[in-house]
Amino acid sequence: MPDPAGESAKTPPLPPNDGPLPERIDGLSPHRSLPLDRWLTAVDDPSTGHRYALRLTYGITPAVIAISILARVLGMHIPLGVATLIGATMLLVTWVQEQMVRRGNYRSWMPVVHVNVALTLLTIWVGFSGGVHSPFVWIFALVCAMYGMLRGLRWALITATLSCLYLLVGAEFAVGMGLHLRDAGGDPVPARAFLASYAAMFYLVAVVSALGRQQLKEISRLAYTDGLTGLGNRRALKQALEQELARSARVGRPVGVLVVELDGFKEVNDRLGHLHGDEILRRVGAALRVTCRATDSLIRFGGDEFVVVLPDSRADEAMIAAERIRTAISAIDLPDRPPLTASIGLSTYPDDALTAPELLDAADRAMYQVKARGGNRIGLAS
């Protein structure tokens, strides 16, 4: 490993919530990432957003029922039986969809059904509790915020538009049932002003939540990125391994792991300086991006050490990828110096190990065995 001085030898630190990181690869933290971390840093996968919408529904629905009970205790005449039936129906629909997602049967129509069922049931409840004068209209805005944060601006605006339409239906329902608010003279209180203000609120919440989502994702992206090379950092490595091993255990596909360390990099730093060493590391990162697949996870683990996670790769396929990487690194042109070389260790799940720490340790030991034989080659875990 290179001399610890200079950026070319530094490892990006983790936030204090994760605790200190180990010095070696085989000490990968066993702690799981927070669900919010997983969502924010995941590729925009529709099933991911829908899974979190379902989980939030489990929390929001009982809260609405509890608020309804409180309103009844405080003297508001609302049918608690209707509230309970609506809540039970929402939870049942959510549970059915969650089971489908868990079995890998996500379909594009599922979020559409979920949001329309939620808004339909909410409309019925708002209608029974006073229409546009109901104290539960704000829940429409909560649904807009949820989809804005989980799915982005397009879904937020669609949800806001649907909320306006459903609220209009709820207002007409309340008028038809005689449940709307009346003034002191017994005449219905005009609903137009309420509808306009609620519509403005729904769209404002939708836009703000979608913009907040973009900002949070950018902050999280920076927290998972190595500042020098633009590759992932140790947090990204931990997350990638957890996700890929879980997926591989579910679908029965192998995962390859490469540990790549540059040969003689300390001498490069000593001879050319750490600024030149940093530039070399950036060029190695660029070479990895060009050489590897879009589905591969590229990590700068620290100093001159890199890790590549190869989904759906057997040992022979990982060997081909490792050779491409070794060749690409050797092609990096250095002034007044022999070609840059790298030692690469290779391990695969489930042949060489069944857990992330063991998998990394196997590839790490294979890499050091290669270094002991002079480097510039690829070693298989034994």
Q: How far apart are CA 154 and CA 240, in angstroms?
A: 28
Q: SS3 helix, strand, coil % of the chain, rounded to 5?
A: 60, 10, 30
Nearby residues of 8 by Cβ (< 8 Å), 6 or more positions away? 2, 228, 265, 269, 274, 277, 278, 280, 281, 303, 304
**Nearest 5°: phi and psi at 214?**
-60, -40
Decide if 304 is catalytic.
yes
Please, what's the largest Cα pairwise distance for the chain?
96
| Active-site residue, selected from the candidate residues 37, 226, 278, 304 | 304
Type and span of the H or E element at 256: strand 255-262
Residue 87 corresponds to which tokens in the numbers above? Answer: 């809540």
Q: How far apart are CA 140 and CA 17, in angstroms?
A: 34
Query: What value, to the nearest 5°, has the Cα angle with vertex 145 and ends 144 and 146?
Result: 90
The neighbour count for residue 320, using CB atoms within 10 Å, is 11
CB half-sphere exposure, 1, CA atoms < 13 A? 17
Q: Which of the residues are catalytic?
A: 304
